[in-house]
Amino acid sequence: MKGELPAGLLDVLEREIERRSLLRGSVSGVLLLWLGALLPSGCRGYPSPPVSLHFFSDEEYAIFQAVARAILGLEDEDVDVAVEVDALASRMGGNVRRDIRWMLRIFEHGTHLFDLKGKRFSRLARADQEQYLRGWMTSSLGARRMVFRALKLLSVLGYYGMSETWTTIGYDGPWLGRRTEERRFSYERPVPLA
């Protein structure tokens, strides 16, 4: 059952952010989309992923892994959330996948514009990453807050979608398919009344 999502949750994840509503909501949406189109799609110095990927490029894998670890407070040796999200994102619609790629690019290189840092997000120290995340979470620009919420949602879905994380919250896994279906009724023999 690992890797499968309920239909309702998949519908929420595949819901597209319509450009018209984003632009109508704030000018920040225009600026972020423009910035994302200008930013480089790949830079040197990203580590190679330990497994083959279905959706993420090597750069996107490294970016998302850094984002998820900072959001969830994970250390480097903890679980690989990016691999789980890679499998999840590979089953999403084309527009959603495109938006995820843009979000990662904007978030990774936005450090130069929003916080005037000389490094991209994945190269920042953990304290600086957390400060940068807080800036996106509490931003006055609606589009920045929307990107933060989307990255946080993907991080949490990836983390709690892995069975090795369930014991930390006391969840022993899904009950469906654990045991064969039992008979619904067990009939007793009638007892004489006299």
The band of 35, judged by pLDDT with boundaries at 50, 70 and 90, is: low
Predicted confidence (pLDDT) at residue 10 exceeds the cutoff of 70? no
- 111-142 per-residue burial string, b: 16 or more CB within 10 A, e: under 16: beebeebeebbbbbeeebbeebbeebeebebe
Predicted confidence (pLDDT) at residue 128 exceeds the cutoff of 60? yes
* Residue 134, helix vs strand vs coil: helix
Structure confidence by residue, pLDDT tens digits, 147-167: 999 999 999 999 998 888 888
Q: What pTM value is reported for the model?
A: 0.68
| 191 against 78, higher pLDDT | 191
pLDDT (0 to 100) of residue 1: 46
Mean pLDDT of 128-136: 90
First and final C-alpha spacing in the chain: 54
Q: Domain boundaries in the chain?
A: 50-162
